[in-house]
Amino acid sequence: MLPVDVSEADAKGRRRPAKVIGIVLGVIVAVLAVVYLAGAFVFMDRFLPNTTVGDLDLSFKSSVEAQGMLSDVVDDYKLKVDGQGFALTLSASDAGMKLDAKAVTDAIHSDANPWAWPLEIVKTHDETEKLAASYNESGLGAAVRTAVDEFNKTATAPVNATVGYSEAKSAFVVEPEAVGTALDYDAVLKVVDDAVLAMQPTAKLTKDELQQPTVLSTDAKLTAAAEQANTMIKADLVLTMAGSTAGEVNADLVSQWVHLGDDLAATLDEGALTAWVDDLAAKCDTVGTTRTYTRPDGKVITVSGGIYGWSVDKDALLAMVKDGVANGTVGTFDVPASTTGTAYNGAGAQDWGARYCDIDLAEQYVRFYDESGALVWESPCISGTPDGVHDTSVGVYWLNQKASPSKLIGYENGQKIYESTVQYWMPFVGNAIGLHDADWQPSFGGSMYANGYGSHGCVNLPPYKAAELYGIIQAGDVVVSHW
């Protein structure tokens, strides 16, 4: 038996397991490499696990399979939008949606790293935005725009906060904004976009999608504008005529003349102020106007013409109102007038007091009432010949003067046609027509004026009655001549 080298045999025995382990490890590495390379190769066309587009799960799907799934979903897709009274159903074709499925899968692949698949397979890959990119430039916006515009035709638009006048408070106040029912296109489109991106079947509109006011009551400029406007309505001018109120310039009225510009600066509309003054003057001017009144005996009379009455000085009235508004004046003031009456009861009413002389041409009768309205004198008369030339003038006049005696001279076409001396001359139309005694008349009243006894325009009275009236009537008394 040959001797054995024990140490060398032991060394060889120890190398065999190490070699086996190395071989096994090499095989494992080779297998892993193959698996890794196979995985990388697979995920170059197939999608990684947990890859989604909207509700679609594309995990392990090939590009072709994914493209088919995407196309089917988009082709069949419908979205129902409602809320706030609005309703719209959109299909892919309605919205002009078109899908380039290959472009979508290519884009998804561009995000993936197949060489890192061992790490990526445990991650979530939401690629919905790649789908969105394929139709954001489509007809979706146009479809939504058309529907929203149609809805808004009958909807209530939002109202901005503004400054307005409150009659209850007699002041300018900030009036709050209001939302209304009109929809905001951009907000609606975002809701629709979000729903489409997630391939949701429904989308609900809320108050957030309503058009919103652009000016809010919290805007400090509105408060400042209200304060400025309120400084312009402090005036309260009570305008009177013969103690009766003819008009009043107060906050309610002046507020109509205050104009707030786009910059919220308050200015006074002088054109509107002037128009109001013109209107008041027109209502208060009574000279020559038609008045209807009830005589103390109950007869209702309408009379027009004459020179008696109120004639408002518009320039002075305008200056008074402008100054009063500018300075916030408060008080009672007479309406400036170039001529005044003894009373004022509004346009179309009696603008003289209880004391006046009433010449009733229809009755051929004259009456005089004192300050209390009592009948203190009366008499039949004969008025002017009703031939269109010598008719007694109608209207409201002042008694101009009195004269006793007086010589009356009449002219026609430059020729003297009469000359008479009367004892009691009481003219009311210039110095040409008046009341006077007429001792040449055989009697008075009735229809004598139309039967050849009519005057040249004056009102003839029995001498003793003329004497009585002469002692009562005074220059400046009102004379009303009417039918």
Report the C-alpha gap between 159 and 150 in whole angstroms: 20
* Known catalytic membership, residue 436: yes
Evaluate whether 397 touches 481 at the Cβ level (below 8 Å).
yes
**SS3 state of residue 183:** strand
Evaluate whether 374 touches 472 at the Cβ level (below 8 Å).
no
Q: List Cα–Cα distances, 420 to 282, 374, 380, in angstroms.
A: 42, 34, 21
Tallying the residues shown for the chain, one arrives at 483
Q: What is the CA radius of gyration of the chain?
A: 53
Output the CA torsion 483→407→437→482 (10° steps). Answer: 10
Q: Which residues contact 479 (CB under 8 A, 6 or more apart)?
A: 308, 356, 357, 359, 396, 397, 398, 399, 428, 435
Instruction: List the structure tokens of 359.
Output: 């010449």
Evaluate whether 371 touches 401 at the Cβ level (below 8 Å).
no
Q: List Cα–Cα distances, 453 to 264, 406, 422, 447, in angstroms.
A: 75, 21, 17, 9
Identify the active-site residue in 109, 390, 458, 482.
Answer: 458
Q: Sign of the C-alpha dihedral, residues 283, 289, 290, 296?
A: positive
Q: β-strands 375-380, 395-398: how paired?
A: unpaired
Report the C-alpha gap between 320 and 323 in whole angstroms: 5
Output the CA torsion 443→449→455→458 (10° steps). Answer: 90
Identify the active-site residue in 109, 125, 390, 436.
Answer: 436
Peptide bond connecting 336 to the previous residue in cis, omega within 30 degrees of 0: no
* Known catalytic membership, residue 284: no
* Sheet strand arrangement including 395-398: 375-380, 365-369, 356-360, 478-482, 395-398
Active-site residues, by number, are 436, 458
